[in-house]
Amino acid sequence: MNGEAPSSVRRALGSRFLRESSTLSMGALFVAVSNLVGAVVMTHVLGAYELSIFYLGVSSYSLLWALLNLGLANVVTKRIAAAIRSGSEELIRGWMGVFVRLSVLLATVAFATGLLIFPFGAGLAFNEDSGRIAQLASALVLVPLLDVPRIVCSAALQGERRMSALARVDLGHELCRLILVVSGALIFGDAWGAVLGLLVSSFCGSLIAFDAYGRERRREGSLLPSLMGAARSTSIPARAALQEGVKVGLGRNVDSLGVQTPPTLILGSLGDPGWVAYL
């Protein structure tokens, strides 16, 4: 009995589930620390008021994207995982293909919508620097388009339980975001520098995801298809994916719509925009 207990512990510590859970937990911790470090450094570099302008631009964009963004990533991840369990490469390609098409469509709609409503909406909501906030938010709506390759690759990696690769993608993207946003703020000295850094970091995150996906696809036993082959697949109708995505997205976006974004926008609208930096 005494010999079995250490053996069971060793098996538990070496299990794939524990390794994956530890990797994801460390990734979440790194993201939290990165956000804290970024906020402290950005406050020092830009000052409270300029940082608030940046936050208001990000919150305006986030509110629009939360309204348009569906829960497609969660749906596609589950469908890919089910297709992998059944060994159906056609279904894997089909769900990845419909995810690519709908993600590009929604990102394009969000960008066009942002260009139309942000100048008007910012003018109504904010008394100071409304023009700059509208411009920043309009530029940031490019983020979902730049993020399409990353979110598609990440959904596929998660569906095949490649959690270590998924964590590398998330960590790489977060590290790029921290470095580039701070660097942009340092170089330009205003909120525009931070926004440019955010856009470039989204592009870099997609490049990292491309590399991770390619490496995992070449592993023995992987059912992940080529990205070009998946993008051309039309075996899954868009309507089916949208119907499932809407159900998931309504619940998933409640936190962003009701808790995270509105307080920043309300404080920036009713009070001094500089107060936003202290939320």
- For the chain, 279 residues long, the average pLDDT of each consecutive 10-residue run is 51 56 67 76 86 92 86 88 90 93 93 93 83 94 95 94 90 93 93 96 96 92 89 85 75 62 75 68
Tokens 């995150």 identify what position?
A: 205
Please tell me the predicted confidence (pLDDT) of residue 246.
Answer: 76
Report the distance separating Cα 58 and Cα 67, nearest Å.
14
Please tell me the predicted confidence (pLDDT) of residue 242.
Answer: 83
Please tell me the predicted confidence (pLDDT) of residue 185.
Answer: 93
Please tell me the predicted confidence (pLDDT) of residue 126.
Answer: 84
Structure tokens at 261: 């974004």
Please tell me the predicted confidence (pLDDT) of residue 240.
Answer: 79
Please tell me the predicted confidence (pLDDT) of residue 129.
Answer: 83
Report the distance separating Cα 49 and Cα 66, nearest Å.
25
Please tell me the predicted confidence (pLDDT) of residue 184.
Answer: 94
